[in-house]
Chains A and B, each alone.
Chain A
Amino acid sequence: MSHQNLESLDVEAIREEFPILEREFDGQQVVYLDNAATTQTPDAVVDAMSDYYRRYNANVHRGIHHLSQEASIAYEEAHDRVAEFIGANGREEVVFTKNTTEAENLLAYSWGLNELEPGETVVLTEMEHHASLVTWQQVAKRTGADVEYIRVGDDGRLDMDHARELIDDETAIVSAVHVSNTLGTVNPVAELTELAHDHGALAFIDGAQAVPNRPVDVDEIGADFYAFSGHKMAGPTGIGVLYGKEALFEEMEPYLYGGGMIRKVTFEESTWADLPWKFEPGTPPIAEAVGLHAAIGWLEEIGMDRVRQHEEELAAYAYDRLAAEGDVELYGPEGGPDRGGLVSFNLEGVHAHDLTSIMNDHTIAVRAGDHCTQPLHDKLGVPASTRASFYVYNTREEVDKLVAALDDARQLFA
């Protein structure tokens, strides 16, 4: 199935670093397949954060004392590590936020509200997460810009002919999800950025479901802005990243004001600190930055190519097993390089929330709902779907348990 044939992951060894996977409810071991919502955290990350709190917890930037120096260096180095991980030029291009949603809002408020003009368009896709869809909707309302959506075809892929129609000289920015959190589709983001640039527009890519499970190079993609979250990539909650090209960040106004982001303040006016601190006011997520740094190191030790291969194989296996069931409706492209590590589906005659409750009887953790893509679900003609999403510690046996549990639902609802 895979186009790489790298050495497979030693899943058994990996699982040992996640004590939570040993948990049992009613005598059954948890089967955690809700990784697109949040991934579990390996000991290496928990230990790094615990070490920070035990040994060098202090506030950053302003401290002259030893502890603050250590904390400041760790916090700054986390930026460097993220930059290296995603192919950015340096810490100036890496802003820490609370999560992907806040990264998106930073861009929308700082750049969008100031730059968008009536008649200009923001081109999204029909598979955008509410994080960008709702945000651009609101910014467009305030600025008089128009929001347009690139169609999703029946195969769950973007209609690139439609993209070429929509992206024109009126387009100010293209905002697209790298990997869909609902369909699993891996979008041709480099092609989208090129289209945007051909028309003098910027390109923002939502990488929340991409950075955790594949090698991402923002330079190769050509993205002007790119966002993702720590907690979906074996890191902690409370930290996200907005990547932006330095020249663009330089031009942008701060989104939040306060301490830590200023250079000089008088009673009349203020000037801003250097990048990226200009966008990071107040006490930042220091322990979380330490955790994210550790998570990147942990993932790179496995190798992002191998992570991708593992995810692709599991998703393809799950897709094929579910498709063979006959009464399961699947959404998005079939298994392969065009699908990330998740599968959304419905069992005929059973509402997604009922199915998910029944899965929980087997201690199988999956997600039911609209996955923050309501307009996409409207288009699919279903109120909700059940989503199984995978990570480095998941196995085929766990997918088998998911498929076996469908029988319970069939029996109850027959």
Chain B
Amino acid sequence: MGLGSDMYRQQILDHYKNPRNYGELEDPTFSHVGENPMCGDEIRMDVNLADDGETIEQVAFTGDGCAISQAAASMLSSELQGKTVEELLEMDRDDIVDMLGVDISPMRVKCAVLAEKVAQDGAEIYQGDLEKDRTTTED
């Protein structure tokens, strides 16, 4: 079997069917929305920072889309808790692929990194380093 079948290992399907941290935070420190126009995936990430203004305390997401995009958002939402904003901003595509633990076929990488991009843009907007309404994987 090719890359595709490996893509749908149990862990991915489990996060897709039973997403963790699904929902919205009541009063998030920052919140941001983005989309992957290729698949029509959409993700909203809500983040609460601890009082130090650095540490990610709580993450929630809502969204709609393919299994890869939604599972990645679910896994990232758990992964980010306890990390600093700086650590979030340092994450790249390889970190997401490692987190998913499967080979992502080239045409589906955008699905995988959508949640990460949304969280990163949300953090940068919060820090005043970026002006943007929505994130898109086409940028």
Partner-B contacts on A (CB < 8 A)? 25-26, 351-354, 357-358, 360-361, 363, 368-370, 377, 383-384, 412-413
B8–A354 touching, CB < 8 Å: yes
Q: Which residue of A lies closest to B10 (CB)?
A: A412
User: Shortest distance in angstroms between A24's beta carbon and chain B's nearest beta carbon?
Assistant: 11
B39–A357 touching, CB < 8 Å: no
Other-chain residue from B5, B38, B40 in contact with A361 (beta carbon distance below 8 A): B5
Considering the chains assembled together, what is the distance between the CA atoms of A302 and B29 in angstroms? Answer: 66
Considering the chains assembled together, what is the distance between the CA atoms of A258 and B35 in angstroms? Answer: 41
User: Shortest distance in angstroms between B5's beta carbon and chain A's nearest beta carbon?
Assistant: 4
Which residues of A sit under 8 angstroms from B16, Cβ to Cβ? Answer: 413
Subset of 24 A-B contacts with CB under 8 Å: A26-B2, A351-B65, A351-B66, A352-B39, A352-B66, A354-B67, A357-B4, A357-B8, A357-B105, A360-B2, A360-B105, A363-B2, A369-B39, A370-B40, A377-B40, A383-B39, A383-B41, A383-B64, A384-B39, A412-B8, A412-B13, A413-B16, A413-B17, A413-B67
Which residues of A sit under 8 angstroms from B39, Cβ to Cβ? Answer: 351-353, 368-369, 383-384
Which residues of A sit under 8 angstroms from B5, Cβ to Cβ? Answer: 358, 361
Which residues of A sit under 8 angstroms from B40, Cβ to Cβ? Answer: 369-370, 377, 383-384
Which residues of A sit under 8 angstroms from B8, Cβ to Cβ? Answer: 354, 357-358, 412
Partner-A contacts on B (CB < 8 A)? 1-2, 4-5, 7-8, 13, 16-17, 38-41, 64-68, 105, 108, 111
Considering the chains assembled together, what is the distance between the CA atoms of A354 and B39 in angstroms? Answer: 10
- Given A353-B66, A358-B4, A358-B5, 14 extra CB contacts under 8 A: A351-B39, A351-B66, A351-B67, A352-B39, A353-B111, A354-B8, A354-B66, A357-B108, A358-B8, A360-B4, A360-B105, A361-B2, A377-B40, A383-B39
Which residues of A sit under 8 angstroms from B2, Cβ to Cβ? Answer: 25-26, 360-361, 363
Given A383-B40, A413-B67: A357 and B7 interface contact (C-beta under 8 Å): yes
Considering the chains assembled together, what is the distance between the CA atoms of A352 and B36 in angstroms? Answer: 14
Q: Which residue of B lies closest to A409 (CB)?
A: B8
Q: Which residue of B lies closest to A351 (CB)?
A: B66
A-B contact count (CB 8 A): 53
User: Shortest distance in angstroms between A114's beta carbon and chain B's nearest beta carbon?
Assistant: 33
Which residues of B sit under 8 angstroms from A412, Cβ to Cβ? Answer: 8, 13
B108–A353 touching, CB < 8 Å: yes
Q: Which residue of A lies closest to B39 (CB)?
A: A353
Which residues of B sit under 8 angstroms from A25, Cβ to Cβ? Answer: 2
Which residues of A sit under 8 angstroms from B105, Cβ to Cβ? Answer: 357, 360
Q: Which 10 A-B pairs have the closest CB atoms?
A: A383-B40, A351-B66, A357-B4, A353-B66, A361-B5, A361-B4, A353-B39, A354-B67, A360-B4, A384-B40
Which residues of B sit under 8 angstroms from A368, Cβ to Cβ? Answer: 39
Q: Which residue of A lies closest to B1 (CB)?
A: A361
A383–B4 touching, CB < 8 Å: no
B13–A413 touching, CB < 8 Å: yes
Considering the chains assembled together, what is the distance between the CA atoms of A112 and B100 in angstroms? Answer: 50
User: Shortest distance in angstroms between B100's beta carbon and chain A's nearest beta carbon?
Assistant: 14
Considering the chains assembled together, what is the distance between the CA atoms of A352 and B67 in angstroms? Answer: 10
User: Shortest distance in angstroms between A357's beta carbon and chain B's nearest beta carbon?
Assistant: 4
Considering the chains assembled together, what is the distance between the CA atoms of A360 and B107 in angstroms? Answer: 12
A369–B38 touching, CB < 8 Å: yes
Which residues of A sit under 8 angstroms from B67, Cβ to Cβ? Answer: 351, 354, 413
Given A25-B2, A360-B2: A354 and B38 interface contact (C-beta under 8 Å): no
Considering the chains assembled together, what is the distance between the CA atoms of A352 and B8 in angstroms? Answer: 14
Considering the chains assembled together, what is the distance between the CA atoms of A412 and B4 in angstroms? Answer: 12
Considering the chains assembled together, what is the distance between the CA atoms of A170 and B133 in angstroms? Answer: 38
Considering the chains assembled together, what is the distance between the CA atoms of A412 and B102 in angstroms? Answer: 16
B1–A383 touching, CB < 8 Å: no
Considering the chains assembled together, what is the distance between the CA atoms of A26 and B3 in angstroms? Answer: 10
Which residues of B sit under 8 angstroms from A413, Cβ to Cβ? Answer: 13, 16-17, 67
